[in-house]
Amino acid sequence: MEVWTICLRHIATKINPRSYKTWFEPIKPIKLSKNVLTIQVPNKFFYEWLEEHYITIIREGMRIALGPGGQLEYQIVVDDYKKVRASESLDKKANDSVIDIASKKIKNPFVIPGLKRQLVDPQLKPSYTFDNFIEGNCNRLARSAGLAVAKKPGGNAFNPLFIFGDVGLGKTHLAQAIGNEIISRHDDKNVIFVSSEKLTNQIVHALRNNSIDELVNFYQMIDVLIVDDIQFLANRPKTQEIFFHIFNHLHQIGKQIILTSDCPPKSLNGMQERLISRFKWGISADLLAPDFETKMAIARAKIKDDAIELPDDVLEFICYNIKNSIRELEGVLITLIAQSALNNKEIDIPLTKEVIKHFITHMSDEVTVESISRLVAEHFNVPLEKLHSKTRKRSIVIARQLSMYLAKQMTNKSLKQIGNNLGGKDHTTVLYACRSVQNLMDTDQIFKDTVFSLEKKIRMSLHAG
């Protein structure tokens, strides 16, 4: 529909592609009568989210598409599983799961023999909470989807909630935080957190002992099932088949499923297609590598409890250099604190450098023309090779000239060597670049600030040797 397309075109220019894909692509325009446009959204939560986060740009879009009198109406798709749930609850079975477990004597695979626990132990670590899961751009969608799930487990569109991301970015922490939050809000819910490895072992064990029905029954009575690192089930067809039954049953009666993985559903090689398609039923939310500010906030939060003061420049140094994993960031902090306590050393940059070198190998302090151009290219978001090319595109010319200028300032290399290192330019080109940058800095304060912050970043980075 023309009107909605115009509106979308405006919205697309205002938000990032990821949010656009998540929140706007699923919307269907239904009808336009007079100047009232009706759009269909998948569920109520979706509608609330749009109203809360995007109402301003939606209004702008509507004004562009329909003029000042334009109005918007939402239509919400009725959730199918609610119907299923309503009929299921007639026979009350699914609700009283705790009692069920006791009365039916279904073996709880988490009970260590001899310990005789009646209730299901959720297998959660209380220290993983939302409070200490610091929010940043890298995790905002996943975190808020997680909170939405925790508020209304099962009763939302995020089923399953599929959290994915590289190692050390907080998947387990977030999944556990959701579990803990659910328990504190709804003490009648049976929550289980299980790693895929443990689940696989339980299944293998049960198959061997002819107790697979009991195991499946146990899982089918859980209200919130959290399975960590689901990619581990790849190439395990038997385990997948059993998990498929558990998943289907729980999903059908409106129980919440939360999964984590190191990749999105579609990239799960060795996973049955029918499982992959089910993983896509709810929402997939990724955890990205944190930006500098988020790393700083996480680092500050981590040391808060340790009653140890780390100078800001040490924290900055760590956050500049630990790139891709929050687990590594924690590792550096813990080692530093331990070292300083053990040896009664002050925590300063030299000590920090030593510690970090154990975490990231092949690093040195020496600033080189290469390391400068790499950081500059990264900053301007241009491919490194382009700096070496002859391209005259403005953004690349600036990045190239800035690399030359910074190389001149920060290394002992001659104009000639710098030119050579940057794609064989001659020394007059380098000289010209240095002057241009200087001129621009004199007239443009924003550019000057950029140069200074880049200089600081380079000074504080360890470089690939």
Which among 168-176, 181-189, 361-369, 415-423 is the span making contact with ligand ADP, rule CB under 6 A?
Answer: 168-176
332 binds, among Mg ion, ligand ADP, none (CB under 5 to 8 A by kind): none
* Partner whose binding site includes residue 168, from Mg ion, ligand ADP, none (CB under 5 to 8 Å by kind): ligand ADP
The DSSP result for 318-354, as a single string, is HHHH--S-HHHHHHHHHHHHHHHHHHT----HHHHHH
Among 97, 108, 139, 190, binds ligand ADP (CB under 6 A): 139
Is residue 125 within the footprint of ligand ADP (CB under 6 A)? no
Which residue intervals of 253-291 are DSSP H helices? 273-279
Q: How far is the CB of 172 from ligand ADP (least distance, A)?
A: 3
Q: How many residues bind ligand ADP (CB under 6 A)?
A: 16
Region for 118 from its dihedrals, namely left if φ exceeds 0, alpha if ψ lies in -120 to 50, beta otherwise: alpha
**Residue number, 172 or 403, with CB nearest to Mg ion:** 172
Task: Give which of Mg ion, ligand ADP, none residue 327 binds (C-beta under 5 to 8 Å, depending on kind).
Answer: ligand ADP
Q: Kindly tell me the number of DSSP H helices and DSSP E strands found in the chain.
A: 22, 10
Residue 170 binds to ligand ADP (criterion: CB under 6 A)? yes
- Of 171 and 278, the one with the shorter C-beta distance to Mg ion is 171
170, interface contact from ligand ADP, Mg ion, none, CB < 5-8 Å by kind: ligand ADP
When CB distances are held under 5 to 8 angstroms depending on the partner's kind, the choice from Mg ion, ligand ADP, none that residue 134 binds is: ligand ADP
Given the complex with ligand ADP, which of 120 and 332 has the nearer CB atom? 332
**Residue span binding Mg ion (CB under 5 A) among the ranges 34-42, 111-119, 127-135, 165-173:** 165-173
C-alpha span between 265 and 42 (Å, rounded): 20
Q: Both tokens of residue 80?
A: 């199918």
* Residue type at position 394: R
- Minimum Å gap between C-beta 49 and ligand ADP is 21
Of 401, 429, 398, which Cα lies nearest the Cα of 415? 429
Q: How far is the CB of 194 from Mg ion (least distance, A)?
A: 13
CB of 170 to ligand ADP, least distance (A): 3
Q: Where are the beta strands (DSSP E) in 59-183?
A: 71-76, 161-165
Q: Which is nearer to ligand ADP, 39 or 230 (CB)?
A: 230
Q: What is the b/e burial string over 288-301, where b = at least 16 CB atoms within 10 angstroms of the residue's CB?
A: bbbeeebbbebbee
- Contact between 134 and ligand ADP by CB under 6 A: the answer reads yes
Residues 6+ apart with CB under 8 A from 32: 1, 3, 38
> For ligand ADP, which residue of 63, 198, 327, 427 counts as binding (CB under 6 A)?
327
| SS3 call for 145 | helix
Interface of this chain with Mg ion, residues 169 to 228, rule: CB under 5 A: 171-172
Q: Could you give the CA distance from residue 11 to residue 394 in angstroms, rounded to a whole number?
A: 28
Q: Could you tell me which stretch among 112-120, 126-134, 251-259, 339-347 binds ligand ADP (CB under 6 A)? A: 126-134
Structural contact between residues 268 and 229, judged by C-beta atoms closer than 8 angstroms = no
Give the closest residue to 225 by CA, choosing from 206, 205, 203, 199: 199
Residues that bind ligand ADP (CB under 6 A): 132-134, 139, 165, 167-173, 298, 326-327, 330
